[in-house]
Amino acid sequence: MGILSMKNEKNELCIDIISSLLSENYNIKISKLYASDFNVPQNRRRVLIFGIKKDVNIFPIDLKPLYDQSKRPTVSTILQPEPIDAKYFLSIKAIEGIKKKKERMLKERKGFGAQFLKLDKPSYTIPARYWKDGYDALVYYNENSIRRLTILELQRIQTFPDKYEFVGSNKDIIIQIGNAVAVNFAYEISKHIIHMLKLTTNESENESENESENESENESENESENESENESENESENKSENESENESENESENESENESENESENEITDYNKFTVANLKILCKKKNLKLYSKLKKSELIKLLTKN
């Protein structure tokens, strides 16, 4: 968490400078987290800066703890069973040195000295310097029996699998473990990033679906409108035609009846020469049905068939 209070020679907060520079091209989110909230038996505090380019149009969100503090994994889950190799235990001289340093620091009111692990709590942070003396996290049995964590216990605290193989001397391995991001913590961070991207993708898909739905609705509405207009036009045309036909019928009925009476039905071969009114009179004479609303072409077909 030191980055939050770190200042430059001008007494400016470094985190403010970083945020200002990143914000020019990125949407950023600064999160202060404990690894122990993400299935890691260690109170490792970390500051994460999520930055996503602005042209991607994604806004980072906070990574939320998996559970509350009461459910954090504890030191007791990573300790190896007895017996432990004697090389990990502190000498009487080292223990006396810890006691004297503690007394001196209490008087001066500074520093924290050696830290003893509480079995029902997560571990303290395991730093890369742990190889020097291990005083950052010690297992306390009694005043004369104190030990460092084994390499297996250290890698368990950082949630590396027991079978994971490190390369190098004990010092090299402890430095690697101390500098690493806890495996389970890194896993949850990765899942969170994927989650953010999926949320945005789903939003985009929903927008596309909505656009498609709107387009379909508009097309359907337009089709319905066109159909309604066409139906209205057809109805108007039919009404006009019927009105015209009725007028024609009324005007020429007497003449048509006389003409039809004078001509023999057997001699009629070309119905196209007749008016609609004359054709309807012929249909009436032939006792044909459902002819009153037919158009000329339909009347001709009806007469031809009968």
Higher pLDDT pick, 221 / 79: 79
User: Can you tell me the mean pLDDT for 92-118?
Assistant: 87
Burial status of residue 14 (CB atoms within 10 A of its CB: 0-12, 13-18, 19 or more) = middle
Confidence of residue 2 (pLDDT cuts 50, 70, 90): confident
pLDDT at residue 265 greater than cutoff 50: no
Place of tokens 């509480």: 118
pLDDT digits (tens, 9 = 90+) for 144-198: 999 999 999 999 999 999 999 999 999 999 999 999 999 999 999 999 999 988 8
**Model confidence over 207-252: pLDDT tens digits?**
545 555 655 565 656 565 555 555 555 555 555 555 555 554 454 4
Provide the whole-model pTM.
0.63
Would you place residue 121 in the very low, low, confident or very high pLDDT band (cuts 50, 70, 90)? very high
| pLDDT grade for 296, boundaries at 50, 70 and 90 | confident
Contact between 218 and 240 (Cβ < 8 Å): no
Residue 262, H or E segment? helix 183-262
Q: What is the pLDDT of residue 202?
A: 56
- 135 burial type by CB count under 10 A (0-12 exposed, 13-18 middle, 19+ buried): buried
pLDDT above 70 coverage of the chain, percent: 76
State the amino acid at position 92 in one-letter form. Answer: I
Tell me which of 64-68, 166-170, 267-271 is least confident.
267-271
Q: What's the CA gap between 177 and 100, in Å, rounded?
A: 30
Alpha-carbon distance values, 291 to 241, 294, 304 (Å): 14, 5, 13
- How large is the average pLDDT for residues 6-18? 92
More confident position, 107 or 20 = 20
Whether residue 93 is predicted with pLDDT greater than 50 in this model: the reply is yes
Higher-scoring residue by pLDDT: 38, 297: 38
Name the DSSP class of 11: S
Q: Which helix (H) or strand (E) holds 172?
A: helix 170-179
> Given a cut of 90, is residue 278 above it in pLDDT?
no
- Quick check: 300 pLDDT over 80? yes
Find residue 283's DSSP bridge partners.
Answer: none
Q: Which of 145, 144, 147 is nearest to 134 (CA)?
A: 147
The confidence score (pLDDT) of residue 260 equals 46
Within a 10 A sphere around the Cβ of 13, how many other Cβ atoms? 14
